[in-house]
């Protein structure tokens, strides 16, 4: 009896051999979930140690390793300790690190950001000697370096002066590239920043230095622990005039397209988990690698919930990173990089 006849639709003309009864025609996707090995075999999204970039905070001093209270397991480290952390990261198979400087002195322009003896510049030189196989990424911004905590030069109305800030970004990009940065990552969301930095790097014969643009960076509530770590909380106001409104996605696609047109080699979406839809749409639109930053607030929430026994730390860590990769991230900046690398290496 055919399936149509079994459903009461009458015999089908020119019937062939009898088909299976309808109870055997029910789809059974659970068959492929029965064992851990089967689930691994058909898994669509696989995490790898190659997926992760480790963010690091570097401070002045020697033998300094201070835990960030709002980010357990994350430390501010002096150059010597940072070099040890980078050797460990390289041994774990993590391909790269991104550096954020926490200088001792700050001023209205953030001049320490482009000092030849700056904290990140010295760290880059040390990492290149200690872990030459590690990709060295330098964050390009001024919020850690200015005494007002904003991401550039302020005008008379206490707003960030876009074009004056571009000139300083060029200086910072050249200085960090001179010190050994292989990738510079402008994060201030200034208009025209990629074109300005690309031109400056090329003129300074750093045409092989790549630009990872924070093309889609939202004015998010999830940055609080980072600001504790970097000492970069604005002294007044907020960053809503240059970072993006969390309600917008068309604007994100426009920002991404502009940065690719200006010469960005890679793009970033930040934060990650609250913006997976944006990540997917950016990934579908551009033809350069796209990454996501699992930011400090995302990290801190998982740890806090795990410490209270509300969630399983390891499962939540793995699931959150898998979701980010599934949404389209070619790689992920995450404070969980070492923990995940150890799990994947086991």
pLDDT of residue 23: 64
pLDDT of residue 234: 78
Residue 16, token pair as written in the block: 């062939």
Q: 174 and 119 in contact (C-beta within 8 Å)? A: no
Q: Which residues fall within 8 angstroms of residue 236, CB to CB, at 6 or more apart? A: 148, 158
187 SS3 class: coil
pLDDT of residue 144: 86
Q: Is 254 a catalytic residue?
A: no
Bridge partners (DSSP) listed for residue 293: 333
337 SS3 class: helix
DSSP single-letter state for residue 244: B
Q: 176 and 138 in contact (C-beta within 8 Å)? A: yes
pLDDT of residue 152: 81
pLDDT of residue 20: 67
Q: How many CA atoms lie within 13 A of 92 on its CB side?
A: 25
Domains of the chain: which residue ranges? 46-345
Helix H or strand E segment including 59:
strand 52-59
pLDDT of residue 12: 54
pLDDT of residue 24: 63
Q: Is 283 a catalytic residue?
A: no
State how far Cα 4 lies from the chain centre.
54
Helix H or strand E segment including 221:
none
Q: Could you list the pLDDT tens digit for every one of the 346 residues in the chain?
A: 444 444 455 555 566 666 666 666 778 888 899 999 999 999 999 999 999 999 999 999 999 999 999 999 999 999 999 999 999 999 999 999 999 999 888 888 888 889 999 999 999 999 999 999 999 999 998 888 888 878 888 888 888 889 998 999 999 999 999 999 999 999 998 999 999 999 999 999 999 999 999 999 999 999 999 888 877 887 777 778 889 999 999 999 999 999 999 999 999 999 999 999 999 999 999 999 999 999 999 999 999 999 999 999 999 999 999 999 999 999 999 999 999 999 998 6
Q: Buried (b) or exposed (e) across 229-259, using 16+ Cβ within 10 A?
A: bbbbeeeeeebeebbbebeebeebbebbebb
pLDDT of residue 236: 74
Question: Is 46-345 CATH 3.20.20.70?
Answer: yes
DSSP single-letter state for residue 330: S
Tell me if the bond preceding 136 is cis, omega within 30° of 0. Answer: no
- Active-site choice (7, 81, 254, 270): 270
Q: What are phi and psi of 324, to 5 degrees?
A: -65, -45
DSSP assignment of 97-141 equals EEEEEE-S--BSS-GGGG-TT-HHHHHHHHHHHH-TTSEEEEEE-
- Active-site choice (7, 81, 106, 217): 217
Q: Is the pTM of this model over 0.75?
A: yes
């Amino acid at each position: 009896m055919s399936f149509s006849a079994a459903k009461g639709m009458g015999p089908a003309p020119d019937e062939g051999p009898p088909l299976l009864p309808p109870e055997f025609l029910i789809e059974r996707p659970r068959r492929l979930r029965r064992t851990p090995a089967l689930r691994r075999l058909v898994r669509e999204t696989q995490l790898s140690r190659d997926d992760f970039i480790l963010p690091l905070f570097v401070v002045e001093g020697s033998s300094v390793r201070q835990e960030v209270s709002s980010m357990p397991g994350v430390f501010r480290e002096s150059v010597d300790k940072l070099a040890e952390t980078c050797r460990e990261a390289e041994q774990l198979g993590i391909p790269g690190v991104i550096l954020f400087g926490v200088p001792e002195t700050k001023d209205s322009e953030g001049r320490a950001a482009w000092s030849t003896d700056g904290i990140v510049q010295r760290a880059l030189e040390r990492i290149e000697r200690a872990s030459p196989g590690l990709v060295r990424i330098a964050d390009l911004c001024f919020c850690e370096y200015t005494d007002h905590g904003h991401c550039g030069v302020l005008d008379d109305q206490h707003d960030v002066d876009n074009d004056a800030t571009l000139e300083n970004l060029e200086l910072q990009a050249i200085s960090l590239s001179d010190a050994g940065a292989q990738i510079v990552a402008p994060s201030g969301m200034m208009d025209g920043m990629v074109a300005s930095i690309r031109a400056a790097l090329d003129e300074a014969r750093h045409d092989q230095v790549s630009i990872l643009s924070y093309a889609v960076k939202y004015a998010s509530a999830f940055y609080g622990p980072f600001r504790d770590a970097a000492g970069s909380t604005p002294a007044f106001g907020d960053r809503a005039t240059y970072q993006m409104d969390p309600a917008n996605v068309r604007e994100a696609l426009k920002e991404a397209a502009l940065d690719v047109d200006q010469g960005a080699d890679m793009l970033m979406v930040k934060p990650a988990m609250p913006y997976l839809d944006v990540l997917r749409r950016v990934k579908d639109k551009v033809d350069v690698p796209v990454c996501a930053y699992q930011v400090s607030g995302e990290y801190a929430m998982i740890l806090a919930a795990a410490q209270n026994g509300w969630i399983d730390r390891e499962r939540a860590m793995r699931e959150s990173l898998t979701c980010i990769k599934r949404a389209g991230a070619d790689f992920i900046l995450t404070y969980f990089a070492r923990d995940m690398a150890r799990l994947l290496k086991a």
